[in-house]
Structure 1
Amino acid sequence: MHIGIQLADIVAHTCSTMLLETLGEVTKKVVLDMLGDSVYDGLKVELGFEMWAGIRYAFLAKNKQNPIDGFDLANVDVYPWGLFIDDSAGERISNAAMERFGENYLGCIH
């Protein structure tokens, strides 16, 4: 058993699903199961959002150099440290990848 390859496969699958959602190809919603939380329990959210919520702290990133405010301070730059887009990727894919993965919000989400 090669656990490293299996972990890489699940990360690739998760990120590809998130990218497909950004491209408008995936529109699935999931229901949050958060017993005891009257605000979020039973709430429908996009699948890509929920996937991102589980892995967002794992992306290699760097703090913003000159944050404008507290909200901007909670965002880190993933590009170019944790995101590489090959020159062979088309403009649509490159733009969607930058939109989805270029920066990451680390504040409270639910």
Structure 2
Amino acid sequence: MFKNQKAFTLIEMLVVLMIISVMVMLLIPNLGDKSEEINKKGCEALISVVQSQADAYYIEMNSYPETVKELKENGYITEEQTTCPDDETTLKINENNTVYKDTGTDASS
């Protein structure tokens, strides 16, 4: 028949697919465990951004905004920037003009 064909055999292809499958099975659980940590760090970064926008508001208006909603209404932040990436934690501004995440417990955290 044909000699000197350079191609993968069926067994070689199955071995490659098996190796890829094992790698995917090992990778996906590790990514799922990191989502809480990613949301926490994303929320911390968002707080920094909103705080800098509150400071910019102060520079332009000579007073700090009373609420995060006021920042949004004046175009300093977007609707998506009013809550953390987990979509459960809202951002608020306390009496010290500091942005914090409102977890529904204490306003000083």
TM (normalized to structure 1)? 0.32
Structure of larger gyration radius: 2
| Higher RCO (C-alpha 8 Å, min separation 6) | 1
TM-score (norm 2): 0.32
